[in-house]
């Protein structure tokens, strides 16, 4: 334990700025993955254990598009669009068959695809780790804000993730499609009786969830190494986020992810050997005091 370092950091603006942005970056990427997970659960009532694979595919699609076109914008687009298509196919062909089945069956299907997707990546891109490299536009000196260090690329990353959060939040609460999705989550039988194609809604939501994870993977590709199985650790952390925030709650995913990010960045100063432990400890506290998560609704 190194509380001096933590207190010292909290009283210095430079350290505060650097660590807070570092927490935001970790948190926002996590949010993109976790929100897809929580969205799919909220509407489809399945826990998508293969969600990490979409993060992985997003990164690989982005890398390939970047190598082919040299454009980072196209790379991010390819990562997001590619995983959306993949999500749609995956839901329509496989997941839609196990909606009525018990949880174990759903889990097995998802787990099978974790292994299949990892091997597909290994066959297409090879087993060795890859690096996409930072686009030239972002190979610049970091900004110094109030003495703290903030890389411009991370500002972009936070911005994109925040924009996704806002669009998602407003879209779901205000737009017609959003209302239909929420209605389908609440009472799919009724929605279907009103002549709305629920299969399409389900496929769409799965594609959206996959796309968000793919977007996170594409945004992470320039700074994280790409390897088959890279989705796994991200998946575990997204589960922690959804457990803390509440399964099915978008706001909960955002708050949960940001909290985890900040716990990591400040925890590594104050509790260097217990940073991981802090995350789980926090999860346990939330589970004990509010088992549905911070923003989770009580089961009806």
Residues that bind another protein (CB under 8 A): 5, 9, 15, 18-19, 22-23, 25-26, 29, 127-134, 138-139, 141-142, 149, 151, 153-154, 220, 222-225, 227, 229-230, 233-234, 264-265, 267-269, 272-273, 275-276
Indicate the residue among 116 and 166 with the shorter CB distance to another protein: 116
Measured from the CB atom, the residue of 3 and 167 that comes closer to another protein is 3
Do the beta carbons of residue 1 and residue 271 sit within 8 Å? yes
- For the bound state, the minimum distance from the C-beta of residue 79 to another protein, rounded and expressed in Å, comes to 16
CA distances from 55 to 75, 106, 119, 145, 300 (A): 14, 20, 15, 31, 32
Q: Cα(160)–Cα(44) distance, rounded to whole angstroms?
A: 26
**Least Å distance between CB 134 and another protein?**
6
Q: Which is nearer to another protein, 127 or 171 (CB)?
A: 127
Between CA 59 and CA 56 the distance in angstroms is 5
Residue-by-residue DSSP string for 15-27: HHHHHHHHHHHHH
Least distance to another protein from the beta carbon of 11, Å? 12
Q: Whole-number minimum distance, CB 143 to another protein, in Å?
A: 11
b/e for 261-270, b at 16 or more Cβ within 10 A? bbbbbbbbbb
**Smaller CB separation from another protein, 139 or 175:** 139
User: How near is the Cβ of 235 to another protein at its closest, in Å?
Assistant: 11
Task: Give 31 or 202: the residue with its C-beta nearer to another protein.
Answer: 31
At 149, which helix (H) or strand (E)? strand 148-150
Angle (CA) 32 37 42, round 5°: 125
For 13, half-sphere exposure in the C-beta direction (CA atoms, 13 angstrom radius) is 4
Residue indicated by tokens 């979409």: 54
Q: Give the nearer residue to another protein in terms of CB position, either 87 or 270.
A: 270
* CB contact at 8 A, 14 and 145: no
Q: How far is the CB of 173 from another protein (least distance, A)?
A: 31
- Closer Cβ to another protein, 27 or 210, answer by number: 27
Q: Is 204 helix (H, G, I), strand (E, B) or coil?
A: helix
Minimum distance of another protein from residue 88's CB (angstroms): 26
């Amino acid at each position: 334990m190194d509380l001096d370092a933590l207190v010292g950091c909290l009283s210095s603006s430079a350290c505060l700025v650097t660590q807070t942005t570092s927490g935001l970056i970790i948190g926002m990427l996590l949010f993109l993955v976790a929100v897809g997970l929580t969205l799919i659960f909220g509407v489809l009532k399945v826990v998508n254990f293969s969600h990490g694979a979409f993060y992985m595919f997003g990164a690989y699609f982005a890398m390939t598009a970047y190598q082919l076109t040299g454009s980072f914008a196209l790379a991010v687009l390819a990562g997001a669009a590619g995983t959306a298509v993949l999500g749609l196919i995956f839901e329509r062909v496989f997941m839609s068959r196990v909606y009525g089945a018990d949880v174990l069956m759903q889990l097995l299907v998802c787990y099978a695809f974790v292994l299949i997707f990892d091997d597909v990546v290994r066959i297409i891109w090879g087993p060795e780790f890859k690096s996409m490299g930072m686009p030239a536009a972002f190979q610049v000196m970091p900004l110094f804000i109030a003495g703290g260090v903030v890389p411009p690329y991370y500002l972009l990353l936070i911005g994109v993730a925040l924009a996704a959060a806002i669009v998602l939040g407003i879209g779901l609460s205000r737009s017609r499609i959003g209302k239909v999705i929420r209605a389908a989550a609440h009472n799919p039988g009724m929605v279907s009786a009103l002549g709305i194609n629920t299969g399409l809604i389900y496929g769409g939501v799965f594609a959206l969830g996959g796309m968000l994870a793919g977007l996170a993977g594409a945004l992470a590709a320039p700074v994280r190494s790409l390897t088959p199985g890279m989705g796994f650790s991200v998946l575990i952390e997204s589960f922690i986020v959804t457990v803390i925030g509440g399964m099915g709650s978008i706001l909960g995913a955002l708050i949960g992810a940001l909290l985890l990010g900040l716990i990591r960045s400040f925890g590594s100063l104050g509790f260097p050997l217990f940073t991981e432990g802090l995350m789980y400890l926090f999860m346990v506290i939330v589970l004990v005091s509010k088992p549905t998560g911070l923003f989770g609704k009580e089961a009806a």
